[in-house]
Amino acid sequence: MQRWYGKLLGFFAGAALLRANPFLGAVIGLLIGHAFDSDWFRLRGDDPYAALGLTREASDAEVDQAYRRLIAQYHPDRVVNAAPELREQAERRARELNRAYDRIKTLRKNRK
């Protein structure tokens, strides 16, 4: 489903902020709202599916399986006695996996 509320909010905010020329403000606000609705400002490395090595068409079971496999591999408790750099890298990767898994679960819950 396409998002539309950014356009609406941008339209009214632009018209209110540019009182000298509300039409121009509304058009500029509409364009900025469209950019936000289309995720133009989202970082491209922020794909939770890519972090788990999956595509967007993956089933819930595949998401769970990939998360469990990767978190078992990168969990910080597995490298307790390793070098500090390796522990830090494992902690960072585990945070990334947890964030991606939580994001996917939230997106799928909101979609239903």
**pLDDT given at position 43:** 57
Residue position matching structure tokens 């769970």:
64
Instruction: Identify the CATH number of the domain in which residue 106 sits.
Output: 1.10.287.110
53 and 102 within one domain: yes
How many structural domains does the chain have?
Answer: 2
Within the chain, residue ranges assigned H as helices are: 5-17, 22-37, 48-51, 60-74, 84-111
Between residues 45 and 106, the one the model is more confident about? 106
The predicted-structure confidence for 16-64, as pLDDT tens digits, reads as follows 888 888 888 888 888 888 888 777 766 556 788 988 999 989 999 999 9
Phi then psi dihedrals of residue 25, to 5 deg: -60, -40
**pLDDT given at position 7:** 82
54 and 23 within one domain: no
Residue 21 counted as domain residue: yes
Q: What is the pTM of this model?
A: 0.59
Helix axes 5-17, 22-37, angle to 10 degrees: 150
The secondary structure of residue 54, as a DSSP letter, is -
**pLDDT given at position 82:** 86
Structural domain for 89, as ranges: 48-111
The predicted-structure confidence for 63-97, as pLDDT tens digits, reads as follows 999 999 999 998 989 888 888 888 999 999 999 99
Q: 78 burial class (0-12, 13-18, 19+ CB within 10 angstroms)? A: middle
55 and 29 within one domain: no
